[in-house]
Amino acid sequence: MIIFDSSTLILLAKVELLKEIAKQLEVVIPREVEREIKLIEEMARKEGKDKSTISRQLIGYGLTYLMIRLYKEGRFCLEKVAKKLDLSVGETIDLLSEFGIKAPIDYEDYLKGYEVMKEVL
């Protein structure tokens, strides 16, 4: 004979109730989401990674794209983009240059930086 306390009985009743509710629910997935899920599954197969890894990578790429666009539009400064992407300012300048966006420093600033570096090293 198994004896349950009152809180266990309540929990079991809730579980059974949830099972009944779940049977009656109909989940509708929009076509756009279905297409995106299929794309993620395809990318996961091709790259030999799980879907959650691919999803995180895509979110990261989207964030990077958004930050680059906001910088290019003048809505974010270089330092803010670097902070949001968790990059140094130099790494951010390199990233921007990969997308054809010129560095926000001119040759004179570069020479000043070079002189400071020589003094430090």
- The 10s digit of each residue's pLDDT in 50-96 is 999 999 999 999 999 999 999 999 899 888 999 999 999 889 999 99
How many structural domains does the chain have? Answer: 1
Q: Is residue 9 part of a domain?
A: no
CA distance 60 to 63: 5
| 23 lies in some domain | no
Those residues whose C-beta lies under 8 Å from the C-beta of residue 23, and which sit 6 or more positions away, are none
Q: What percent of the chain has pLDDT over 90?
A: 44
Query: Quick check: is 7 in a domain?
Result: no
> Does residue 21 lie in a domain region?
no
Domain that holds residue 69: 31-120
| Whole-Å CA distances, 109 to 66, 103, 105, 115, 116 | 27, 11, 6, 10, 11
Indicate the pTM of the whole model.
0.62
Predicted local distance difference test score (pLDDT) of residue 98: 93
Angle ∠(114,117,121) on CA atoms, nearest 5 = 140
